[in-house]
Amino acid sequence: MELDIVAESSCGTLVLVEVKKTKTKIGLNQIEDFQEKVDVYKTLFPDTIVLASYLSLGGFTDEASDFCLQHVIAVAERIEEL
């Protein structure tokens, strides 16, 4: 099982991030695959808060966006420089 970023905050929260640098929109299947990975982490660490986030430079299909909203997956389509 591979995730692009797995980070633990100082309070113990796990942050899981998937990053896609493609020009095409991410579809529902890819988001569901990511959710399966998130579910594994939640099972392995039942007493830990797990935050999920997906960065897709190509954006998301409507179905993928809806799924993310329903499953509390934070989404982003760009990274802004400071």
- Using one digit for the tens of pLDDT, what is the confidence trace for 17-74? 999 998 999 999 999 999 999 999 999 999 999 999 999 999 999 999 999 999 999 9
**Residue range 2-20: average pLDDT?**
94
Provide the domain count of the chain.
Answer: 1
Q: Which residue has the tokens 């020009």?
A: 23
At 82, the pLDDT band (50, 70, 90 cuts) reads: low
Asked whether the predicted pLDDT for residue 1 surpasses 90, the reply is no
CA atoms within 13 A on the CB side of 64: 23
Q: What is the pTM of this model?
A: 0.91
Whole domain around residue 72: which residue ranges? 5-76
The answer as to whether 26 is a domain residue is yes
Tell whether 81 is covered by a domain: no
| Distance in angstroms (rounded) separating the CA atoms of residues 82 and 70 | 30
- Residue 17 sits in a domain whose CATH number is 3.40.1350.10
Neighbours of 54 (CB within 10 A): 24
Q: Are strands 14-20 and 5-8 parallel, antiparallel or unpaired?
A: antiparallel
Q: For residue 24, is it within any domain? A: yes
Residue 8 has pLDDT above 90, yes or no: yes
Q: Is 82 within the bounds of a domain? A: no
